[in-house]
């Protein structure tokens, strides 16, 4: 909302220097962070919160400043409308559900002319284009008082009659600015004869608006159902100054005053004779609502005691007519303050004018909650994983969850599993990702000038369909330009430190996937799926224009968390181990994991095994033999050694290299 | 024999004097005092001596051994100090080999700090769905249907064709405040909760807007929670994050789910309030929208608002990270460029 300081000053004196004024306004809720200088005037740019329709008017803001500064309000003089001197009767067939109140009058013989310079200046300053006295007056008064006004060309209304109704959908409508619309269902309109003459609360019709030939006018100040106005304005993507006011549910009490002010200015600037009595039609007599503030609740919520006198004075400055009785303050709410509905709203009124920055600061008092809350989340396991990745030399990335169809296809992922956004900002952000690997691959591409790369991300992925959606945390990493064993070391580290043992690795059989058809596999433990790892599919790498080999893994974080074992201290073995290297010839199709498991299971005294070297088919294993009760002799070791070799031979036909 | 022993002693002392290296000294020690050393050779011969000489020669050998031991020790000390006094060139400025340590994303670091601050204040952490119902994202939070209050929460909608869902019924959550209703309706007050997480908005992407951002929602429900507690909590948290000299001020604002509504501003940590591009030349950064929980939110979440009240706030995590490290473009935070990430 643009507010020229000069216009504001017509209704309230302003004592504060500009910077202080802007902050004071911000402090009480009229957020004013920027302004522009225009000649010797200053135009404030005020962000009006959606609860305050009254702040979409200069008078409304002036009222607030008058309360803030405790200075009187100079309300514009509105004089009674004279009795009719002409006779232009009209008939409005109303429906109170759509229009709870309207005030209307007709004027005969207006003369169009440019509006006076002062009015044109004000309108220009708030970015409105002056047109002529008839149109300018309606805009001026709307911004002054906050009630939208519409002027009809009396002679263009069939039989001077119009009927309010909602659209069935598909009706044609051309607005005053000559734009044609097909109206959606449930828009509020006025029909005159068979024609739509007004898209109520949003824009007037070209067929009934002010034109060069207009001499006789019907002025209408009406209130419309804000929900319907908003719905229509959104469907047509058509916001107007009026619709912005209506969707905030504006001032039902202000129509008559607004009409009077409009007529005052209209007859002053465009002449003409009043041609009807004022029609002021409302469903029921306006009853101002009452709201009670308990002084003890005020103190309880604020945490401080504000003197009763000060509370009363504050509420009075806000025109809430406070009356104190038995520690309760009864307030009468003006119609322009429809935002005041509950006691807490009054508490805010007192607090904000007292000044938020004058409050002392405390911390909540009392016992800390004992029970575990719903959706309780322990961040430690994820942090532990991030620490392990840090230790293994990985750089953490954080990327967006939204992705594109192109990206999904490039990664050979199944589009059908992806959850789709119905109204994406762009094609780039249309689906929720089902894997973190594509983002990591594009990170590899982005850093293609760096030879050695280790990247990871720990975040959610999402699986459709939307009515059975799943959100799953994944830990995913990629390593570029490295050997398989170096890459595998990072995975081993995770499993080792989390004490996840005895998992199986199975070769994948999926052909169209992110993963290499033969050099990738899934990691499982019993029925638990832990994750997938291996080389990224060469076709996918090609799609991402990555030349190097890339190894990767994607692990299910929740499963890892579930399988993680607590660390329980074991006293170190006091007897030194015997260590020996055995070199075995391992034929194809024999898995190292099987060989290691067989060695391990051969005797309880085998305490540790390490694959130290691979040369062609020869694998050298270093084996630690240890007895908790004694130092093992060479002969003890010899017996186990032979047992190992015989087991390996029986199981895999694996033999020692001689 | 006496003479031989004395000769051996003198010979040893002379040799020790001449030694210039630790290795030679060690060799001398072995050749005289070792198991097969010269002293031991004499000791072995003691048995052959007449009874009368045994004691005297024995003492002589022992004394000589002691003298040699002491001289060896002194020489060792002397060698050590003379070696250390020698001016040897050693370049300490040679850079070390690169370690293999990784990097945490700045958002991880800052989020952990925030979680720690709140743990200290007795809060529990909750984690909830990003695919959210309109009910929790808006309705519970007192957003009137078809009201412009929803405009600030520019919302994306999921494609629900071929499902039983109605259009707009499920959305990517626009704020982690959506967890207020979920936690409240299923937990017993008193509550102190924070909810970190990803949120989504329908925004054109530029330096200060994104389709995704991270928020840390927090709320307290208890029997007598005051506005002063909210001010105090915000100040405690911001000073913990930005240092004790951080300047904070409060303003009134409107969110449907709080009343009174509060906006907390932090004096721009980049320009110290002088005005810069970070704070749009205002010197202040809007950082923690907050307020006292609206009674409608409590009662919709099955909490009796006559007994309980509370406050709620939200921290823009991305905003805190960018202020902390003076990042002038929000896109930097999710750009996986190593030239960026290796700085943290």
Classified as helix, coil or strand, A33 is strand
A303 and A393 in a common domain: no
A20 and A112 in a common domain: no
- As a whole number of angstroms, the distance between CA A116 and CA A124 comes to 12
- Here the contacts of A311-314 (C-beta below 8 Å, separation 24 or greater) are A311/A350, A314/A67, A314/A349, A314/A350, A314/A353, A314/A354
Does residue A568 fall inside a structural domain?
no
Give contacts of A386 with chain B, Cβ < 8 Å. 104, 108
Q: Is B254 on the interface with A (CB under 8 A)?
A: yes
Q: What is the DSSP string of B148-174?
A: GGGGGS----B--TTSSPPTTSEEE-S
In A, minimum Cα distance to B262 occurs at A356
CA B344 to chain A, closest CA, distance in angstroms equals: 10
- Domain span holding position A265: 91-282
pLDDT number for residue A366: 80
> Residues A124, A128, A129, A135: is their CA dihedral positive or negative?
negative
Q: Do A230 and B148 touch (CB under 8 A)?
A: yes
Mean pLDDT of the region A146-158: 96
pLDDT number for residue A250: 63
Q: Nearest by CB to A377, from B127, B259, B342: name it.
A: B127
Give contacts of B112 with chain A, Cβ < 8 Å. 379, 383
- As a whole number of angstroms, the distance between CA A231 and CA A588 comes to 70
Q: Is B192 on the interface with A (CB under 8 A)?
A: yes
Q: Which residues of B, range 77-136, sit inside 8 Å of A by Cβ?
A: 100-105, 107-108, 112, 115, 121-122, 124-131
Q: Is B193 on the interface with A (CB under 8 A)?
A: yes
Q: Where among A357, A372, A396 does a domain terminate?
A: A357
Token readout for A63 is 């009222």
Give contacts of A27 with chain B, Cβ < 8 Å. 249-252
- As a whole number of angstroms, the distance between CA A148 and CA A450 comes to 63
Residue B135 CB-density burial (10 A; 0-12 exposed, 13-18 middle, 19+ buried): middle
Classified as helix, coil or strand, A216 is coil
- As a whole number of angstroms, the distance between CA B89 and CA B68 comes to 35
What are the DSSP E strand ranges found in chain B?
A: 124-125, 131-133, 170-172, 191-200, 212-222, 248-252, 258-267, 284-293, 309-316
What are the DSSP E strand ranges found in A468-549?
A: 470-480, 504-507, 515-525, 528-536
Does residue A165 fall inside a structural domain?
yes
CATH number for the domain spanning A270: value is 3.50.40.10
Q: Do A466 and B225 touch (CB under 8 A)?
A: no
Does residue A53 fall inside a structural domain?
yes
Short-list B324, B326, B328, B333, CA closest to B246: B324
Strand order in the sheet with A289-294: A289-294, A328-333, A323-325
Q: Do B228 and A364 touch (CB under 8 A)?
A: no
Q: What share of chain B is helix, strand, coil (3-state, %, to 5)?
A: 45, 20, 35
Residue B58 CB-density burial (10 A; 0-12 exposed, 13-18 middle, 19+ buried): middle
pLDDT number for residue B98: 85
> What pTM, to 2 d.p., does this model score?
0.88
A457 and A528 in a common domain: yes
CATH number for the domain spanning A609: value is 3.30.70.380
A495 and A395 in a common domain: yes
A223 and A140 in a common domain: yes
CB A35 within 8 A of CB A86: no
Beta-carbon contacts of B241 under 8 Å, excluding residues fewer than 6 positions away, are: B110, B113, B114, B117, B320, B324
Number of Cβ atoms within 10 Å of the Cβ of B270: 19
Give contacts of A366 with chain B, Cβ < 8 Å. 190, 222-224
Number of Cβ atoms within 10 Å of the Cβ of B26: 13
> Cα dist. B241→A112, A357, B113, B248 in Å?
63, 20, 8, 12
Mean pLDDT of the region A258-263: 97
Token readout for B262 is 């509060």
pLDDT number for residue B82: 83
ipTM of the complex, rounded to two decimals: 0.91
Q: How far apart are the first and last CA of chain A?
A: 90
A120 and A254 in a common domain: yes
- As a whole number of angstroms, the distance between CA A548 and CA A542 comes to 10
- As a whole number of angstroms, the distance between CA B286 and CA B319 comes to 9
Token readout for A146 is 């906050």
Beta-carbon contacts of A586 under 8 Å, excluding residues fewer than 6 positions away, are: A592, A595, A617, A618, A619, A652, A654
Q: Nearest by CB to A369, from B115, B190, B251: name it.
A: B190
Mean pLDDT of chain A: 94
A222 and A119 in a common domain: yes
Strands A618-625 and A550-556: unpaired
pLDDT number for residue A258: 96
Q: Which value, to the nearest 10 degrees, does the dihedral of the CA atoms of residues A300, A303, A309, A313 take? A: -100
Does residue A451 fall inside a structural domain?
yes
Give me the helices (H) in B175-282, please: 179-186, 227-242
Instruction: Render pLDDT for A305-335 as a digit per residue (tens, 0 to 9).
Output: 999 999 999 999 999 999 999 999 999 999 9
CATH number for the domain spanning A305: value is 3.30.56.10
Give contacts of B229 with chain A, Cβ < 8 Å. 303, 362-365
Question: Cα-atom radius of gyration of chain A, to the nearest Å?
Answer: 39
Count of domains forming chain A: 5
> Cα dist. B323→A23, A364, B273, B276, B293 in Å?
22, 28, 13, 12, 28
Token readout for B79 is 């060698």
Instruction: Render pLDDT for A415-454 as a digit per residue (tens, 0 to 9).
Output: 999 999 999 999 999 999 999 999 999 999 999 998 889 9
CA B186 to chain centre: 33
Give me the helices (H) in A31-184, please: 58-69, 117-125, 133-145
Q: Nearest by CB to B294, from A29, A31, A344: name it.
A: A344
A117 and A27 in a common domain: no
Picking from B203, B259, B292 by the largest number of A CB atoms within 10 A of its own CB, the best residue to mutate is B259
CA A295 to chain B, closest CA, distance in angstroms equals: 14
> Cα dist. A244→A52, A53, A143, B142 in Å?
11, 8, 12, 20
A623 and A505 in a common domain: no
A277 and A294 in a common domain: no
Q: Is B277 on the interface with A (CB under 8 A)?
A: no
pLDDT means over runs of 10, chain B (344 residues): 87 89 90 88 85 87 91 89 82 88 96 96 97 96 84 89 91 97 96 97 88 97 96 97 95 96 93 85 91 97 96 95 90 93 94
A31 and A121 in a common domain: no
Please check the confidence at residue A64 and state whether its pLDDT lies above 90. Answer: yes
Give contacts of A396 with chain B, Cβ < 8 Å. 102-105, 108, 341
Helix axis angle, A133-145 to A255-270, nearest 10°: 150
The length of chain A is 658
A130 and A57 in a common domain: no
Please check the confidence at residue A6 and state whether its pLDDT lies above 90. Answer: yes
CATH number for the domain spanning A427: value is 3.30.930.10
Does residue A58 fall inside a structural domain?
yes
Instruction: Render pLDDT for A470-485 as a digit per residue (tens, 0 to 9).
Output: 999 999 999 999 999 9
């Amino acid at each position: 909302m643009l507010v020229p300081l000069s216009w504001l000053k017509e209704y309230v004196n302003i004592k504060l220097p500009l910077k202080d004024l802007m902050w004071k306004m911000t402090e009480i809720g009229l957020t004013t962070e920027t302004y522009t200088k225009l000649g010797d005037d200053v135009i404030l740019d005020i962000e009006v919160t959606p609860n305050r329709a009254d702040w979409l008017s200069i008078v409304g803001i002036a009222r607030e400043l008058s309360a803030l500064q405790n200075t009187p309000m100079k309300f514009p003089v509105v004089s009674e409308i004279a009795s009719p001197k002409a006779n232009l009767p009209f008939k409005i067939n109303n429906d109170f559900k759509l229009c709870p109140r309207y005030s209307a009058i007709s004027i005969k013989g207006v003369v169009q002319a440019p509006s006076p310079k002062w009015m044109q200046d004000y309108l220009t300053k708030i970015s409105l284009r002056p047109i002529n006295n008839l149109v300018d007056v309606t805009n001026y008064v709307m911004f002054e008082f906050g009630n939208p006004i519409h002027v009809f060309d009396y002679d263009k209304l069939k039989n001077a009659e119009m009927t309010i109704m909602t659209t069935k959908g598909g009706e044609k409508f051309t607005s005053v600015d000559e734009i044609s619309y097909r109206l959606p269902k449930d828009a509020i309109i006025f029909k005159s004869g068979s024609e739509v003459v007004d898209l109520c609360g949003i824009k007037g019709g070209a067929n009934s608006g002010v034109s060069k030939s207009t001499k006789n006018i019907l002025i209408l100040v009406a209130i419309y159902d804000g929900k319907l106005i908003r719905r229509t304005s959104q469907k047509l993507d058509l916001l107007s100054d009026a619709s912005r006011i209506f969707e905030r549910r504006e001032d039902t009490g202000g129509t008559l005053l607004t009409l009077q002010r409009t007529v005052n200015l209209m007859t002053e600037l465009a002449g003409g004779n009043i041609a009807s009595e004022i029609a002021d039609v409302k469903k029921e007599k306006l009853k101002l609502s009452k709201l009670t503030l308990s002084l003890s609740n005020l103190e309880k919520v604020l945490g401080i005691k504000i003197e009763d006198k000060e509370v009363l004075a504050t509420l009075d400055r806000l025109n809430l007519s406070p009356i104190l009785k038995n520690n309760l303050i009864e307030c009468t709410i003006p119609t322009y303050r429809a935002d005041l509905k509950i006691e807490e709203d009054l508490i805010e009124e007192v607090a904000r004018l007292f000044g938020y920055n004058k409050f002392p600061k405390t911390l909540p008092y009392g016992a800390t909650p004992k029970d575990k809350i719903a959706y309780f989340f322990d961040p430690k396991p994820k942090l532990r994983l991030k620490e392990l990745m840090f230790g293994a030399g990985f750089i953490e990335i954080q990327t967006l969850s939204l992705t594109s169809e192109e990206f999904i296809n490039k990664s050979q992922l199944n589009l059908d599993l992806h959850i789709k956004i119905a109204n994406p900002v762009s094609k780039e952000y249309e689906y929720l990702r089902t894997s973190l690997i594509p983002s990591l691959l594009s990170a590899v591409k982005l850093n293609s000038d760096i030879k050695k790369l280790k990247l990871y991300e720990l975040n959610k992925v999402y699986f459709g369909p939307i009515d059975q959606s799943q959100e799953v945390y994944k830990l995913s990493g990629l390593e570029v330009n490295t050997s398989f064993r170096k890459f595998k070391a990072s995975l081993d580290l995770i499993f080792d430190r989390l004490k996840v043992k005895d998992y199986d690795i199975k070769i994948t059989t999926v052909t169209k996937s992110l993963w290499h058809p033969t050099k990738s596999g899934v990691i499982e433990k019993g029925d638990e799926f832990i994750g997938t790892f291996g080389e990224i599919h060469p076709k996918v790498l090609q799609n991402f224009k990555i030349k190097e080999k890339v190894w990767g893994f994607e692990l299910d974080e929740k499963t890892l968390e579930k399988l993680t074992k607590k660390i329980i201290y074991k006293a170190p073995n006091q007897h030194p181990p015997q260590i020996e290297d055995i070199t075995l010839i391992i034929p194809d199709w024999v898995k190292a994991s099987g060989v290691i498991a067989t060695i391990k299971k051969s005797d309880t005294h085998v305490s540790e095994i390490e694959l130290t070297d691979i040369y062609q088919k020869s694998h050298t294993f270093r084996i630690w033999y240890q007895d908790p009760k004694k130092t093992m002799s060479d002969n003890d070791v010899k017996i186990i050694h032979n047992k190992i070799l015989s087991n390996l031979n029986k199981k895999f036909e694996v033999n020692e290299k001689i | 024999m006496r003479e031989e022993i004395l000769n051996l002693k003198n010979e040893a002392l002379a040799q020790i004097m001449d030694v210039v290296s630790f290795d030679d000294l060690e060799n001398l020690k072995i050749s005289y005092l070792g198991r097969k050393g010269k002293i031991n050779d004499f000791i072995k011969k003691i048995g052959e001596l007449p009874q009368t000489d045994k004691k005297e020669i024995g003492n002589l050998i022992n004394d000589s051994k002691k003298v040699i031991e002491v001289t060896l020790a002194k020489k060792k000390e002397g060698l050590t100090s003379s070696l250390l006094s020698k001016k040897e060139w050693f370049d300490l400025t040679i850079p070390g080999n690169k370690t293999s340590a990784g990097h945490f994303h700045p958002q991880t670091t800052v989020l952990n700090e925030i979680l720690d601050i709140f743990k200290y204040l007795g809060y529990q952490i909750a984690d909830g769905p990003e695919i959210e119902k309109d009910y929790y994202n808006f309705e519970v939070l007192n957003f009137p249907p078809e009201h412009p209050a929803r405009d600030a929460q520019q919302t994306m909608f999921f494609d629900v064709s071929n499902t039983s869902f109605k259009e707009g019924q499920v959305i990517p959550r626009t704020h982690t405040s959506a967890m207020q209703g979920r936690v409240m309706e299923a937990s017993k007050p008193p509550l102190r909760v924070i909810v970190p997480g990803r949120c989504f908005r329908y925004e054109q992407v530029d330096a200060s807007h994104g389709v995704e951002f991270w928020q840390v929602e927090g709320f307290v429900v208890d029997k007598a929670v005051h506005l002063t507690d909210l001010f105090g909590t915000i100040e405690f948290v911001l000073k913990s994050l930005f240092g004790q000299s951080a300047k904070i001020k409060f303003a009134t604002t409107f969110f449907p789910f709080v009343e009174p509504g509060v906006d907390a501003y932090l004096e721009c940590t980049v320009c110290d309030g002088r005005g810069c591009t970070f704070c749009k030349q205002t010197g202040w950064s809007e950082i923690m929208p907050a307020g006292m929980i609206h009674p409608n939110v409590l009662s919709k979440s099955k909490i009796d608002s006559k007994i309980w009240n509370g406050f709620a706030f939200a921290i823009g995590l991305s905003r805190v990270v960018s202020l902390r490290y003076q990042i002038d473009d929000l896109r930097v935070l999710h750009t996986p460029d190593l030239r960026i990430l290796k700085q943290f």
